[in-house]
Amino acid sequence: MSIIKATGICKTYQRGREEVCALRGVDLTLEPGEFVSIVGPSGAGKTALMNILGCLDTPSCGTLTIDGVQVTGKGEAELVKIRREHIGFVFQQFFLIPTLTVGENIGLPLLFSGTPYDPAKIEILLEKVGLAHRADHLPGQLSGGEMQRVAIARALVNSPRILLADEPTGNLDSVTADGIYRLFEELHRQGITVIVVTHNRELAQRAGRVIAIRDGCVVAGS
């Protein structure tokens, strides 16, 4: 069974008197454990698609199934539950709480989901992202690459089957970006479905499948 299936996904926005069509009938199927990159020029619809796949936004038309659950038409409370149980998010900005330690930042989603803080799980995630020695540091004491690794560990704390990353290396130099992609490759080998939006074509080619979007339509890789 596919882990994500999008059929006929459209998304329109109202901008003043103008109607903007961000996505136009997107069909997309992803299998469990795939590593996929989404590429395209600015304004192509990459982030709009990512937001819908991650249940952060709803389509104007079409249907979406996540891990066997049809999410189209569900209310916000149900979408929150789906996001919490199935999906981890990584963004270009790290969104770490500056007054919390690395370990506390990673464990924050547990608080929101009502799950007890689990130091052993935090320790395992810190080992996974190569930051076991940084657990008690504050974000301001970390490099950009280290902060993104913390953000990735935080995205994994609820054990999602899907990891969505929107321009995760946009603020990083090439060497650091390479390290982040190596981490994504390792997570993919562990069976997590990894979907990365990126402008970096060289990094995008390291995914198992490259999906190209232009003018709101998938033009390659679907």
Alpha helices, DSSP H, located in 159-210: 174-189, 201-204
- 79's tokens: 């979408």
Mean pLDDT calculated for residue range 112-136: 88
- Taken in order of first residue, the domains within the chain and their CATH numbers are 32-47+73-220 (3.40.50.300)
- DSSP states of 22-43 as a string? EEEEEEEEE-TT-EEEEE--TT
Q: 68-82, 106-120, 151-165: which has the minimum mean pLDDT?
A: 106-120
Reported pTM: 0.91
Q: 13-17, 80-84, 129-133, 186-190: which has the minimum mean pLDDT?
A: 13-17
